[in-house]
Chains A and B, each alone.
Chain A
Amino acid sequence: KNEVEQSPQNLTAQEGEFITINCSYSVGISALHWLQQHPGGGIVSLFMLSSGKKKHGRLIATINIQEKHSSLHITASHPRDSAVYICAVIDTGTASKLTFGTGTRLQVTL
């Protein structure tokens, strides 16, 4: 079993829909990252969380440390949001390196 599990693996949505991607992890963590990877392969860090909730534009990330669960929400989705979204954690035992989920491939259509 992977330390970091994401669901769904694939997601297709129509433009304007509200999207939720979930991440569950099994280890104690000091921080959780949400990353976005576009088809060219480049990775952008969207959020880093250790508690609560963060918002940036149409993106919202939440984390529940007790339940070991995080969600990434996209409001008013747009085709340019199409990408792979990756959840990654910093295990409290490792100090720094990221352990990644397998990603959620999102396709937003017109």
Chain B
Amino acid sequence: GAGVSQSPSNKVTEKGKDVELRCDPISGHTALYWYRQRLGQGLEFLIYFQGNSAPDKSGLPSDRFSAERTGESVSTLTIQRTQQEDSAVYLCASSHRAGRTYGYTFGSGTRLTVV
């Protein structure tokens, strides 16, 4: 596609429920990144994929968080048993390939609110 697409754009969920967030990267972009921005705070890294593999998942805050990518395309970020502190904007970005010479394109984010 023309840009990085994320869905849903907004999600309100009850504490304890599971949620799935989706990211469609730019076609042909092999690297895909998930970041999180909690209200009033800076962006923080969660995980990145090169192809379908995740060489660095060091930013996932707990074992309630998981992510997968298939077909070197769509990625889903799953949060199980959501907590109020999971409320944040979850941003996805993609680049042609992981590495310093490649620029990023960001999606518009999914705003998750846990009530």
Contact = CB atoms under 8 A, between A and B. Distances in A.
B45 A98 contact: yes
A43 B48 contact: no
A94 B48 CA distance: 11
B71 interface: no
Interface residues of A, number: 25
Contacts, number: 63
Interface of A is mostly: strand
Given A33-B103, A43-B91, A98-B43, 18 more contacts: A35-B106, A40-B108, A41-B109, A43-B93, A45-B104, A45-B106, A50-B100, A86-B42, A88-B43, A95-B98, A96-B33, A96-B50, A96-B100, A97-B45, A98-B33, A98-B35, A100-B42, A100-B43
Interface of A: 30-31, 33, 35, 40-45, 48, 50, 86, 88, 90, 94-103
